[in-house]
């Protein structure tokens, strides 16, 4: 009879977890993930749907979604991909999308969410509404929704907006948090916090396609008295809107469509 030690020794500790996600359109799913650089390792649509894709050491499998699944809700399924640094992954996927489509898919569905310096995660949202979330391993485990308890006034509103923007992908709520914070605390806040709040709000205006609000915020920012030292320290935040505009605007000619391969698909291992 096997002992406990024998059973434990049979467990290698080299398990591999592969998410099985819902899919409402095989063609749209394949197009998006192949545009990102994933390769198809298995493909079957009859007698039932099953897709397997791989990029680097990331495997994603897909089966038929439920009849009542609504992709527009964007909570169909998903997985977390833990990495040492997220920025190289975001850059690789951005470059791949530009090569395929001539632009980055930043709005609608499918899309890739934007990335700011210092951010610890981003998401890929596929045609079915699955979220593939890339997360930096050293990301803080605790989030203080509403803003850090160690902060007050406008600084706390800025922190709350950051969490809503980066962890919930809720630009509308983040913009509202900053608007409320500015209305309540702008008059008494240090000029540095006012600059940070206005710069963050301007970046959100760009993300939401609100050019009128963006221009008004830019004028407010330019009118604030800010020392050269402070301007240097806040340079990343001051350039956030400009970087986003560049990221959205950069284009390149799309790559030619690859020829279709024939032959039987490979079975997943």
Cα dihedral 221, 227, 230, 236, rounded to 10, equals: 40
Position 237 scores a pLDDT of 83
Cis before residue 115, ω within 30 degrees of 0? Answer: no
Distance CA 169, CA 177 (A): 14
Rounded to two decimals, the pTM is: 0.82
Instruction: Note down pLDDT in tens along the chain; length 269 residues.
Output: 666 666 666 777 788 899 999 999 999 999 999 999 999 999 999 999 999 999 999 999 999 999 999 999 999 999 999 999 999 999 999 999 999 999 999 988 999 999 988 899 999 999 999 999 999 999 888 788 888 999 999 999 999 999 999 998 899 999 999 999 999 999 999 999 999 999 999 999 999 989 999 999 988 888 888 778 877 888 888 888 888 988 888 765 666 655 544 444 444 44
Tokens of 87: 């920025």
């Amino acid at each position: 009879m096997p002992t406990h030690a024998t059973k434990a020794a049979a467990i290698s500790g080299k398990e591999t977890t592969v998410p099985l996600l819902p899919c409402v359109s095989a063609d749209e799913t394949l197009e998006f993930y192949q545009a990102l650089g994933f390769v198809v390792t298995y493909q079957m649509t009859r007698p039932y749907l099953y897709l397997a894709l791989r990029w680097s050491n990331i495997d994603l499998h897909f089966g038929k979604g439920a009849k009542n699944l609504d992709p527009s809700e964007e909570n169909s399924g998903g997985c977390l991909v833990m990495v040492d640094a997220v920025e190289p992954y975001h850059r690789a996927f951005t470059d791949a999308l530009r090569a395929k489509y001539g632009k980055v898919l930043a709005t609608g569905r499918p899309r890739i969410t934007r990335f700011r310096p210092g951010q610890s995660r981003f998401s890929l949202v596929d045609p079915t509404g699955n979220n593939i979330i890339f997360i930096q391993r050293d990301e803080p485990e605790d989030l203080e929704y509403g803003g850090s308890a160690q902060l007050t006034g406008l600084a706390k509103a800025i922190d709350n907006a950051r969490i809503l923007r980066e962890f919930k992908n809720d630009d509308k709520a983040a913009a509202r948090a900053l608007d409320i914070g500015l209305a309540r605390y702008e008059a008494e806040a240090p000029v540095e916090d006012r600059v940070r709040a206005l710069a963050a709000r301007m970046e959100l205006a760009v993300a939401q396609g609100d050019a009128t609000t963006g221009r008004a915020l830019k004028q407010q920012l330019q009118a604030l008295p800010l020392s050269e030292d402070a301007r240097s320290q806040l340079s990343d935040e001051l350039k956030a809107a400009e970087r986003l505009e560049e990221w959205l605007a950069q284009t390149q000619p799309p790559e030619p469509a690859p020829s279709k391969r024939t032959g039987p698909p490979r079975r997943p291992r």
